[in-house]
Chain A
Amino acid sequence: MSAPLLELTNVSRHFGGVRAVQNVSARIEAGEIVGLIGPNGAGKTTLVNVITGAHRATGGEIHFMGERVTNQKPYQAARRGLSRTFQIVQPFPSMTVRENVAAGALFAGKAISRRAAMDAAEAHLNFVGLGKLVDAPASTLTLPNRKRLELAKSLAMRPRMLLLDEVNAGLNLSEIDEALRLIREIAAQGVTIIIIEHLMKVVLGLSQRILVLHHGELTAEGAPEDILEDERVIEAYLGDRFAKRRQGAQS
């Protein structure tokens, strides 16, 4: 069996007494779309932060493309092809939309010059539907457009793996459909995707495999249909009384 694209081995991250991520082990193969779900505070964002170097791991190992990358710096993650979107979008407010994306192309996407980066930026902005706003200051964008900008920025980095942290939060139904179409297209280009999402419909429809985090631990893993049936997942989302009642009804 060949090495997976991303391999997590007993990864932990604690904040003082809070075990935000606890002993998580997982393998993500190249080309997969993996959903990462779990209730609020389960540790999803923290796990993304540890993978991309924004936080140091308290314990465990991370390998990306066979290389040990535990506690890499964020810029190293970016250059290795690990790119992420922020749950709370982080533009460069007084730069134009095009410059925001060009930065990704120049510093992580290996664009050879600022000129080339600007051109690449324009293509990515057209792709996410911001082609008409390239010269607007990023601070003037609406929330849905900021999310699109976030996506264009990540794409400009030419990632091998894209970690999407709630890119759909705050979008309406038609905007979500549009976002899903984009994500499928990105995946079709060969980018491996980990998607964090609260809307079950979205994750289940998109993902080939689901990882469930609860209190920082990986409690379940499997195909979307199986996950829906899993007691631990129901317990995590709806509370253990509901799960017990269900169990009682089944026996």
Chain B
Amino acid sequence: MSAFIGGKNLGLTIVLGVVAVLIALPFIGDNYLVRLATFLCLFSALALGWNFIGGYAGYPSFATAAFYGLGAYVGALLQNAGTPMPLAWLGAGLGCAIFAAALGPTLLRLKGHYFAVGSIAIVEIMRLLASIFADFTGGGMGLNVPILRGGPDFAGMVFLYAMLAVAAAAFLTTLAVDRGRLGFGLRCIQQNEDAANMLGVDVNAYKTAAFVLSAIFCGLAGAIYASWVAYIDPTDVFSILLTLKVPVMVLLGGAGGAYGPLVGVVAFMAMEELIWSNFLELHHGVLGVIIVILVFFLPGGLLKLRWPQILGRFRAGGDAKSEAKAAAE
């Protein structure tokens, strides 16, 4: 499916290369780079997670932050209750899966704009609940999570590897889904849900499966984030900005494949870093500008661009210029 230049093997080679660099990073890079890499893995996990429901099934979900926040809170509460950190993370993933399985059949009955609005409402409701039940969640005061012992360098490495593991699991799951029955059925749903149903696709089960997969990876990422920063509050994890940013990243790279979301995350973060460091005051406009570019110029994302033709045109342009020059002489 992927329209990666040079085909799938090149894509896989690049991914493996990046993974190798990320594994080596704690030993060769500074804290800033490790932190940036951890965010890269965090957003890769979220983007690949969103891609199941938003890309493959074509349901414009803004529920990412609901799962992310729920994962963060479940993980934090489990850890505070004495659960070992890795088990708390798994518990958070499981909790998010159950939540999505319970919510999916109802929410996924909504289509298009209605689904988009419904899914963003879930984030708001969750944020309110986290604020209201202060006895349990700490409310607006936030919630502290035990800090990992062993010093900042060790912690940096642990959380980078943990995020990398979640992103890698999301990537491998995507490859499996893409090649299997589930991915095929989801693509049918994305193209024409009624026709898919008539053709024997159990559309509700398939959509819910995509929603659950999405929830698991977003929830795991949220739980690891909570342990990493050691403090969460409702506005930080049930973040509307995050819920908007993730689909924009995926659409930037190209939805509905294993590589598009990764390209989108890298491109988005590169732009953000560039603008962040050079024009701090422009930073908040970035998301808006990217959305406008996506809508008008990149409906299929960066990966769907016809790179050979574009590169060819540059070359042709160069040739034309040199020919003109030659003729003038």
Q: Please indicate which of the listed interface residues B188, B194, B198, B202 has the most CB atoms of chain A within 10 Å of its own CB.
A: B198
| A107 in contact with B200 given A114-B179, A114-B184 (CB within 8 Å) | yes
Judge if B180 is at the interface, Cβ distance under 8 Å: yes
Judge if A92 is at the interface, Cβ distance under 8 Å: yes
A90 to B198, CA, bound (A): 10
Judge if A13 is at the interface, Cβ distance under 8 Å: no
Q: Which stretch (A73-81, A124-132, A183-191) binds chain B?
A: A73-81
Distance (whole angstroms) from the CB of A153 to the closest CB of chain B: 7
How many of B's residues come within 8 Å of A, CB to CB?
19
Judge if A151 is at the interface, Cβ distance under 8 Å: no
From residue 29 to 68 of chain A, which have CB atoms closer than 8 A to chain B?
52, 54
Q: In the complex, are the beta carbons of B191 and A54 less than 8 A apart?
A: no
> Which residue in A73, A74, A90 is a CB contact (below 8 Å) of B192?
A90
| A78 in contact with B195 given A103-B184, A107-B185, A114-B180 (CB within 8 Å) | no
Judge if A157 is at the interface, Cβ distance under 8 Å: yes
Chain A residue at minimum C-beta to C-beta distance from B190: A92
Distance (whole angstroms) from the CB of A12 to the closest CB of chain B: 22
Distance (whole angstroms) from the CB of A117 to the closest CB of chain B: 8
Chain B residue at minimum C-beta to C-beta distance from A156: B199
Judge if B83 is at the interface, Cβ distance under 8 Å: no
Judge if A91 is at the interface, Cβ distance under 8 Å: yes
> Which residue in A73, A92, A114, A153 is a CB contact (below 8 Å) of B197?
A73
Chain B residue at minimum C-beta to C-beta distance from A49: B198
Chain A residue at minimum C-beta to C-beta distance from B202: A75
Enumerate chain B residues within 8 angstroms of A238, measured Cβ to Cβ: none
- The 8 A-B residue pairs whose C-beta atoms are closest, nearest first, are A108-B200, A107-B200, A78-B200, A92-B191, A90-B195, A74-B197, A74-B198, A107-B201
A-B residue pairs in contact (CB < 8 Å), sample of 25 = A52-B198, A73-B202, A74-B197, A75-B200, A75-B202, A90-B192, A90-B194, A91-B192, A92-B192, A92-B196, A93-B191, A94-B191, A95-B187, A95-B188, A95-B191, A103-B185, A103-B188, A103-B196, A106-B181, A107-B188, A107-B196, A108-B199, A109-B200, A114-B179, A114-B181
Instruction: List 17 additional A-B contacts (Cβ < 8 Å) besides A79-B200, A84-B198.
Output: A52-B198, A54-B198, A73-B197, A74-B197, A78-B197, A86-B195, A86-B198, A90-B194, A91-B192, A91-B195, A92-B192, A92-B196, A93-B191, A104-B200, A107-B188, A153-B199, A157-B200
